[in-house]
Structure 1
Amino acid sequence: MMSAPIDLRNASTSASKASVLDSQNHPIAIPPMPDYNGRILAYTATAGIIVSGVLQDVFGLWMLWLLSGALTWPHIAHQLTRRTFLRNSSRIRQKMLLTDCAIGGGFVGCIGLIAIPSVAVALMLMFSCLIVGGIRQWLFGTMIMAACGAIGVAIVGPAESLQSPMITSIIAISATGLYICVTAFYSHQQARALMMAKTQIQNQREQSIALSHKLSKYLSPQVWQSIFTGERDVRLETQRKKLAVFFSDIKGFTELSEEMEPEALTELLNHYFNEMSEVALKYGGTIDKFVGDSIMIFFGDPTSRGQKEDAFACVSMAVEMRKHMKIMRQKWRSQGIKTPLEIRMGISTGYTTVGNFGAENRMDYTIIGKEVNLASRLESLAEPGEILISYETFSLIKDRIMCRDKGEITVKGFGRPVSIYEVVDFRRDMGPNRSFLEHERSGFAMYLDSEKITERERESILSALEDAAERLRQEEDS
Structure 2
Amino acid sequence: MMNAPADLRSASSCAGKALSADHPYNPVAIPPMPDYNGRILAYTATAVIIVTGVVQGAFPEWLLWLVAGALTWPHLAHLLTRRTFLRQSPRIRQKMLIFDCVVGGGFIGCIGLVAIPSVSVVLMLMFSCLIVGGIRQWLLGSGFLAAAAAAAVALIGPADNLQAPLLTSILAIFATGLYICVTAYYSHQQARALMLAKTQIQNQREQSIALSHKLSKYLSPQVWQSIFTGERDVRLETQRKKLAVFFSDIKGFTELSEEMEPEALTELLNHYFNEMSELALKYGGTIDKFVGDSIMVFFGDPTSRGQREDAFACVSMAIEMRKHMKIMRQKWRSQGIKTPLEIRMGISTGYTTVGNFGAENRMDYTIIGKEVNLASRLESLAEPGEILISYETFSLIKDKIMCRDKGEITVKGFGKPVPIYEVVDFRRDMGPNRSFLEHEHSGFAMYLDSDKITEKERESILAALEDAADRLRQEEDAS
Matched, 1:234 2:234: yes
1:67-106: CA deviations, max 9, x gaps?
A: 1111111111112212222222221111111100000000
Matched, 1:447 2:447: yes
Secondary structure of the residue that 1:30 maps to in structure 2?
coil
Number of residues of Structure 1 aligned to a counterpart in Structure 2: 474
Which residue pairs with 1:281 in the alignment? 281
Q: Note the residue ranges of structure 1 that are not aligned, 5 or more in a row.
A: none
Using the alignment, how far apart are the partners of 2:374 and 2:267 within structure 1? 31
Using the alignment, how far apart are the partners of 1:304 and 1:7 within structure 2? 47
Secondary structure of the residue that 1:27 maps to in structure 2?
coil
Which residue pairs with 2:202 in the alignment? 202
Which residue pairs with 1:4 in the alignment? 4
Using the alignment, how far apart are the partners of 2:307 and 2:397 within structure 1? 10
Matched, 1:42 2:54: no
Matched, 1:391 2:388: no
Identical columns (%): 85
**TM-score normalised by the chain length of structure 2:** 0.96
Matched, 1:400 2:400: yes
Distance 1:20 1:46, change over 3 A: farther
Which residue pairs with 1:324 in the alignment? 324
2:351 partner amino acid: Y
1:83-138: CA deviations, max 9, x gaps?
A: 22222222111111110000000000000011111010000001011111111111
After superposing on structure 2, the runs of 4+ consecutive aligned residues of structure 1 that deviate more than 3 Å are 17-21, 23-26
1:477 partner amino acid: D
Secondary structure of the residue that 2:231 maps to in structure 1?
coil
Using the alignment, how far apart are the partners of 2:463 and 2:154 within structure 1? 103
Which residue pairs with 1:456 in the alignment? 456
Using the alignment, how far apart are the partners of 1:26 and 1:194 within structure 2? 12
CA contact (8 A) 2:59 2:111 kept: yes
1:18 Cα shift?
A: 7.9
**TM-score normalised by the chain length of structure 1:** 0.96
Matched, 1:93 2:93: yes
Matched, 1:54 2:54: yes
1:274 Cα shift?
A: 0.4
Using the alignment, how far apart are the partners of 1:86 and 1:212 within structure 2? 45
Distance 1:34 1:18, change over 3 A: farther
RMSD: 1.8
1:382 partner amino acid: A
1:8 Cα shift?
A: 2.8
Secondary structure of the residue that 1:440 maps to in structure 2?
strand
1:471 Cα shift?
A: 0.9
Alignment of 1:40-439 (within 5 A): 40-439=40-439
Using the alignment, how far apart are the partners of 1:245 and 1:380 within structure 2? 14
1:189 Cα shift?
A: 0.2
Secondary structure of the residue that 2:8 maps to in structure 1?
coil
Q: Note the residue ranges of structure 2 that are not aligned, 5 or more in a row.
A: none
1:199 Cα shift?
A: 0.4
2:453 partner amino acid: I
1:410-434: CA deviations, max 9, x gaps?
A: 1111111111111111111111111
CA contact (8 A) 1:245 1:298 kept: yes
Using the alignment, how far apart are the partners of 1:4 and 1:447 within structure 2? 76
Distance 1:7 1:305, change over 3 A: closer
CA contact (8 A) 2:9 2:190 kept: no
1:19 Cα shift?
A: 9.7
